[in-house]
Structure 1
Amino acid sequence: MSLINSVNQASPTSVSSSQTSSPSASSTSTTGNPFLDSVRLPESEPVAESNNQSLTQDDFFSLLSQQLSMQDPFKPVDNDQMISQMSSFSTVDGINNLNSEIQNLNSVMSSSQALQASGLVGRKVLIPSDTGNVSAENRVLNGVISTPSSMNDITVRIEDESGQLVKSYVVDGSAGGNIDVKWDGLDQDGQPVAAGNYSMKASGKIDGAAQELPVSTYAHVESVSLGTAQTGAILNLRGVGGVKLGDVLAVSET
């Protein structure tokens, strides 16, 4: 009798415990009914919709299948028209793949071009600019004057960054064409100029009239940047900045 009484006394406690725990269980993932819980479908996480608006080949064939299934049986789609649609999509898909391959090829070519241009580091290149840099390590400024025809004398003017005349001298232009010219980095009084950028201007008489002549200068290559597929490799020049490799006119031995 005592054993039965102890069981009967414990039963209300266990029932009340299950009653208090069942609401929390039903609020999460159970219903309280073992049969319903066993056949209940598992909850799945919501899947974010894709933002890609482009049609793929699978989308095209899905649309084509829908079109064929909903066509009028008395007026079926013409075979030539269907083949034309499939050919058009295949052409567009092939062009997209070709564009991707070209972009990859441009990236590889840019890297290869930069690797080849790295051999110019430490050398001098001729650029279409009349501004060059004079430093303590290299006080000589070399350039090339382009003339349309031969002329007796070409006046060369060296100007600082503010446009002030530093030195003026005359070179022979009787050979015509591209004439090499050099400035030793000294002013009109024979004193070394301060380090910085200087412009080399040139003028001469053509048919008796004075005319400004285009001047290109040599610059020292300090480093090479990859650049982009549009610009190609970029040469970083001392005191001048970056120029595209395609703008280089010539490369000097020293």
Structure 2
Amino acid sequence: MMAIDNVGQSGLSYIDQLKQSQDQTKTQQTGGKNELKQDDFLSLLTKQLAHQDPFKPVENDQMIAQMASFATVDGINKMNTQFDSLNSSMTSNQALQASSLVGRDVLVPGAAGMKDQMGGLAAMVNLPSSVDNLMVRIENAAGELVRTFTAGANPAGESRVDWDGLDDTGNAMPAGKYNVKANGLVDGQNTEFDVSTYANVNSVLLGKGDGNVLLNLEGYNSPVKLAEVKEVGKG
């Protein structure tokens, strides 16, 4: 009887043959998983030892290398599972901590801010360099200009600007969403600056399984990532 080497007649190793067999089974069965498990490896190793050519036995170092490779893959799979569990736990912990933000104001990137019935609106302007005369414009939700005022000289960095809620004629504006825009001269060129505004946190979301904690903000159509919050105001 002809002895069978650790490489089959098809020219494939037993591991490759087993993978090929699993691929064929997967195409015939719906919902199957194409992966090698520990039982498959032990079965493969037993068959390899039973059918090896007695004149060309499997070398010890080759067998150890195969076992080491499988142990490495198995360890990586277990580590990925543990990381998924850790990520889920961290996300839940972040959401629990973020729940304390409900009812408080947070500073987020964007020019749109909510004005209440009695108060005004505060914003932060990011200045790449110092500005001698910072100009601030307030627009309503329709894009109409309702107020223009100067915030004077400001150094480079984050500069706070406050709108008192009045238009250019001194009339109180109704509650709603307003856009805060700012510009000034930088090296002789009129430049628009990035603006961040404050918004009240209505609720906290866990996200879509991607590890992100999301905040539902008053006046915002879509949630904002907790990681985007630049400042937390008083409750």
Q: 1:222 Cα deviation (Å)? A: 1.2
* 1:110–1:228 CA contact under 8 A, matched in 2: no
Deviations 1:190-247 (A, max 9, x none): 2222332111000001122211111111111111111145352111110024111100
**Alignment partner, residue 70 of structure 1:** 51
**Alignment partner, residue 123 of structure 1:** 104
The DSSP-based 3-state class of the residue aligned with 2:88 is helix
Q: Are 1:236 and 2:213 matched, yes or no?
A: no
Q: Which amino acid aligns with 2:205?
A: S
Count of matched residue pairs: 206
Q: Within 5 A, what are the aligned runs for 1:242-253?
A: 242-253=223-234
Are the structure 2 counterparts of residues 50 and 71 from structure 1 closer, same or farther at C-alpha, using a change threshold of 3 Å? farther
2:194 to 194, 198, 214: 214
Q: Are 1:142 and 2:122 matched, yes or no?
A: yes
**Alignment partner, residue 197 of structure 1:** 177
The DSSP-based 3-state class of the residue aligned with 1:52 is coil
Q: Are 1:172 and 2:149 matched, yes or no?
A: no
Give distance in 2, aligned partners of 1:183 and 1:120.
Answer: 24
Give distance in 1, aligned partners of 2:73 and 2:171.
Answer: 69
Segment of structure 1 superposing worse, 204-213 or 66-75: 204-213
Are the structure 2 counterparts of residues 96 and 166 from structure 1 closer, same or farther at C-alpha, using a change threshold of 3 Å? same
Are the structure 2 counterparts of residues 92 and 232 from structure 1 closer, same or farther at C-alpha, using a change threshold of 3 Å? same
**Alignment partner, residue 133 of structure 1:** 114
Give distance in 1, aligned partners of 2:87 and 2:120.
Answer: 38
The DSSP-based 3-state class of the residue aligned with 1:139 is coil
Q: Are 1:93 and 2:65 matched, yes or no?
A: no
Q: Which amino acid aligns with 1:237?
A: L
Deviations 1:122-171 (A, max 9, x none): 111111111111233x6321111111222221110011222111111111
The DSSP-based 3-state class of the residue aligned with 2:70 is helix
Give distance in 1, aligned partners of 2:188 and 2:33.
Answer: 69
Q: What's the RMSD between the two structures over aligned residues?
A: 1.8
The DSSP-based 3-state class of the residue aligned with 2:133 is strand
Structure 1: any 5+ residue segments left out of the alignment?
1-47
The list of structure 1 runs, each at least 4 consecutive aligned residues, that deviate by more than 4 angstroms after superposition, is none
Q: Within 5 A, what are the aligned runs for 1:104-123?
A: 104-123=85-104
The DSSP-based 3-state class of the residue aligned with 1:63 is helix
The DSSP-based 3-state class of the residue aligned with 2:151 is strand
Give distance in 1, aligned partners of 2:146 and 2:74.
Answer: 64
Give distance in 2, aligned partners of 1:174 and 1:49.
Answer: 66
Q: Which amino acid aligns with 1:89?
A: F
Decide which structure has greater helix share: 1
**Alignment partner, residue 36 of structure 2:** 55
Give distance in 2, aligned partners of 1:216 and 1:66.
Answer: 67
The DSSP-based 3-state class of the residue aligned with 1:193 is coil
* 1:123–1:220 CA contact under 8 A, matched in 2: yes
The DSSP-based 3-state class of the residue aligned with 2:182 is strand
Bigger Rg, which one? 1
The DSSP-based 3-state class of the residue aligned with 2:132 is strand
